[in-house]
Chain A
Amino acid sequence: MKQIFRTIAMIFVLCLAASPSFSQTGKTETYPPIDSDALEQFGGPEGVRNWVESLFYYIMLDNRINHVFREFGNIERQIYLNTQLLQLVLGGNEVEYQGASMAAAHADLGITLTQFNAVVEAAYNACERIQLTYEACNLMIAGLAPYKHAIVTR
């Protein structure tokens, strides 16, 4: 039994070592990779902007999480930065992210996994609101999912 655990642990360490480091300044490297036309599927930069606005609409209606975003202040600025970020993780290279790193921006907020999941639910609602296909929506989920490690600190 001990040996099984040791083998599992070794595979785990090897997988970790083999996994690429996650960069915030470009397309998210996922397995399998995000479609090369992901940004087009989202309706380009304008479609992304529509989605982010829609996302914040649902976030601000959700009593589990709206206070966190309200405390953060300046919703317009948050929408602006999120639009930049999502374009980048979907593979757009015309844009530069001007915000703080995800880890720095969320470090003091004590975000729980339940709150993070509530944003994911808002994200799916936003996709439906802008008539995005579920498949395109999942490209966004794949691109943003790895940020969980930086955002959820509790």
Chain B
Amino acid sequence: MEEAKRAKFPVSKGAALVVAMLASGLSQAGWYDSGKVLATGGVSMIDGAGGGGITPWATITGYGTKEGINGDLHYTYAPLANYTLHSLGAAVGFWDRFELSYTSSALTTGSTFDTVGLVADTLGGVTGSLAGTPINTGIEPFNTTIEMESIGAKVRVFGEAIYDSDNLIPQIAIGGFYKNNKNEDLLKTLKADKAKDWEAYISATKIFFPINTLINITARYTAANQTGLVGFGGPDGSDKEIRPEISLAYLLRKDTVIGIEWAQHGDNLEGESVEIAGLDLTGLQPTLEALGLGNVSGTLTQHESDWYDVFVAFFPNKNLSITMAYAMLGNITITPDQHGFYMSLQASF
């Protein structure tokens, strides 16, 4: 019921709401606060929540303490071998207790799916003329783009990540995302089960000052393929599973943090081929061979790898953070070795 309600909630209005709340937080001086110590607001992860680069932390985004509201605008750019991710959004932290975020991601796929497009076109020429129905794979002739919106909410449940150095209780937060992937046709071609879905997570974050280290452990309950950029679930449905994520950060200076992250990914589409007009390409092997495209179905097998990254985050002041990372995302759909640089900017108020 709750999910249905949220699904109907227009996403663009959600974004407007976040911006409006951000603006109201700014205009009402009594609400505004930027009292956290430099860097302790964390950076923005690609789904928009406060955290590391790919993992949400238990910290609430922005520099607001329990005395006020603060927020950020964030932009992430990750040019990989076959894809480029642009992710732009806003997030607001309320009284260091709640967090709301909105992020719009665009994954341009360059020439990745040109082979699929070629096959579809060729098949379209053959089967289309037979069946009389055009094939829509969601693949444009040039620069196919996957767009996704993520709305996130997080609540800090208990614990103190920073100052409770005399006990081992971490800061715990629970949160969730509602993600709406807009290239439904391409997701169908890639055999994902759903284009819209929610995911939930619980994060535990703690700083250990005597060893200058921050540890975050997150368990995410999700059915996402590549965080949802390749939809949710696969041919066997979209049952969610719990996937662990870990961030380890070393505090190098009061304004510089380096670290590594790992996020487990699923295998909903592992070993699957692509599907065109309801037909798996494997089943089309004889047709493809007749067309001289015999090896296509083999090279179009999908895989998904766990994500890793190595990052350095720099906080020149409380209004800006710059994160540079090397992201190792492995196999993404039909292309292997998707590694590359990652840059994320966060402006706080």
Contacts and interface: CB of A to CB of B under 8 A. Distances in A.
A121 B166 contact: no
B118 interface: no
A8 B157 contact: yes
Interface residues on A, range: 35 or more
A18 B162 CA distance: 19
A146 B167 CA distance: 9
Nearest to A23: B166
Nearest to A38: B210
16 contacts: A8-B157, A8-B172, A15-B167, A15-B168, A30-B165, A112-B65, A113-B35, A113-B66, A114-B35, A115-B35, A135-B212, A138-B209, A138-B212, A143-B165, A145-B166, A146-B163
B158 interface: yes
A35 B166 CA distance: 14
B111 to A, nearest CB: 46
Interface in A126-154: 134-135, 138-139, 141-143, 145-146, 148
B252 A134 contact: yes
B6 interface: no
Contacts of A28: 165-166
A142 B168 contact: no
Top 8 A-B pairs ranked by shortest CB distance?
A: A114-B35, A19-B167, A142-B209, A145-B163, A146-B166, A142-B165, A138-B209, A113-B65
Contacts, number: 89
B349 to A, nearest CB: 15
A101 interface: no
Contacts of A22: 166
Contacts of B37: 117, 120-121, 124
Nearest to B211: A32
A148 B163 CA distance: 7
B253 A134 contact: yes
Interface of B: 33, 35-38, 65-67, 157-160, 162-169, 172, 208-212, 251-254
Given A8-B157, A32-B211, A112 B35 contact: yes
A79 B66 CA distance: 29
A81 B121 CA distance: 81
B177 to A, nearest CB: 18
Contacts of B210: 30, 32-35, 138-139, 142
Contact of A31 (B166, B252, B254): B166
A16 B159 CA distance: 10
B151 to A, nearest CB: 21
Given A134-B212, A134-B252, A134-B254, A30 B65 contact: no
A71 B251 CA distance: 35
A29 interface: yes
B33 A114 contact: yes
Nearest to A118: B35
Contacts of A57: none
A128 to B, nearest CB: 8
A67 to B, nearest CB: 16
Contacts of A31: 165-168, 208
Interface in A1-44: 8, 12, 15-16, 18-20, 22, 28-35
A118 to B, nearest CB: 7
Given A35-B210, A146-B165, A113 B252 contact: no
A121 B38 contact: yes
A22 B340 CA distance: 47
Given A112-B67, A138-B251, A19 B209 contact: no
Contacts of A112: 35, 65, 67
Nearest to B158: A12
A145 B162 CA distance: 8
A20 B254 contact: no
